[in-house]
Amino acid sequence: MVDVPSLVRQTQAHAQQALQEGDLSRATRLLQRLHTAGLADATSHQMLAIAAIGLGLFEPARRHMDAARRLTPAPGGRERFLVIRAWGAGFWADVLHTVHGLALAAASGRTPIVHWGLESRYRRAGIENAWPLYFEPVSPHTIATAEAEGLSIFPPKWTGTNLRALRVNKDDGEWSSLSGMYLIDRPEDVTVLDFFTELDDLAPWFPAGNELAAADPEPALGRLYRRYLRLTPDLASELDRFEAALIGRRPTIAMHYRTQGLPKVTEAVDRKGLGPERFAEAIDRYLASHPDAGIYLMTDFAPAVLYFRERYGDRVACREVTRVARVEDQSLEIHQQHDGVTLGREVVLDTFLAARCDAFIGDGASGVSQAVTRLKDWPEGTATLFRPGHAALAGQIRRHADPSPWWNPTS
């Protein structure tokens, strides 16, 4: 007996692939076969509308979209969910991915379920979800809610039995590399976000008036950080303890200096490194107007601690954290010998501690520096990033490197 629902899903998947490759003819033929067989649904009409727009046939596109709306079942008041899986990169890159997902959940009327599972660097073997190690839950639900029998899930590479699996068609294969924009108006009970999506890929499709659709979404993004990133009680207590011990001089300016390895340099918009001298110039200007100020240094590069302490002496305070000794060592998160939870706690505490200082300087190409500026509503002129924080237009868009196949514990 032919499994008709499976056949429909496979045909739609092949049509979606054809659309992505620009083969409108093949996509249309596949979808029209479904319609001829009486198997039209909202998804097939949506894809035919996309093909029609690509051909400049706007009236057929409108008809297919009208049909898609008629065939889309109303939610009926039931609760629907967005599962936000770990992206699998640096800590604050994963947080940014998660916050974008939380914005998507709110815009699409879904309850978020954050699950930093097997793809998260910042867990240990045996820990199913790393998010609660650092932050309070964003909803009362866990991944078990989305696994309940009978719930429909999109994209169809996911089922109730593989939502915790590692890298399901993440970069290659059917439904891989899927932007979150495709999840905005789905009828299924559960949608799953597992691939990093830039905000400018999402916000234009949010409902009218959404604050993230503003010309400058950064203030709204900061409000989302402050709304959702609530430290666990033990980390909040640690933060208070370190603030009392390390930020004794007021005012205190915090700075973030990261290892200038090749991957970090090439992801910056100007493809250039930032030497410590650039930071020192900014510190000197601050000290000229605040001669008694302290300096809080956050860095993953051991030689930077020596450089700034030699220059500023006991003004410099910093925590004892894991650091690399050479530029060639690159990022901490790619080294298997480092415990993921330790790295996660270190970067969380450092970032929140910097946000408790009176001024900040950092690198706009760094997720850590960006996070510091978002975790606090900084007074005008007190937080400075040296360069834009967006990706180079000539560089890769959305296909960010995911190191999880190399370092992640598998259980």
Q: Could you give the percent of the chain with pLDDT greater than 70?
A: 86
SS (H, E, C) 48-92: HHHHHHHCCCHHHHHHHHHHHHHHCCCCCCCCCEEEEECCCCCHH
Three-state DSSP class for residue 252:
strand
56-109 pLDDT per residue, tens: 888 888 888 878 777 766 566 689 999 999 988 889 999 999 999 999 999 988
Give the pTM: 0.79
Cβ–Cβ < 8 Å for 154, 186: yes
What CATH class is the domain 4-71?
mainly alpha
Answer whether residue 344 shows pLDDT above 70: yes
pLDDT in tens, 119-130: 898 998 889 999
Q: 81-225 — its CATH code?
A: 3.40.50
pLDDT tens profile 175-206: 988 999 999 988 899 999 999 988 888 988 88
Q: b/e per residue, 373-393, with b = 16+ CB within 10 A?
A: bbbbebeeebbbbbeebebee
The domain over range 233-407 is classified in CATH as 3.40.710.10? no
State the average pLDDT over residues 257-279.
67
Please write the tens of the pLDDT for every residue from 278-289: 999 999 999 999
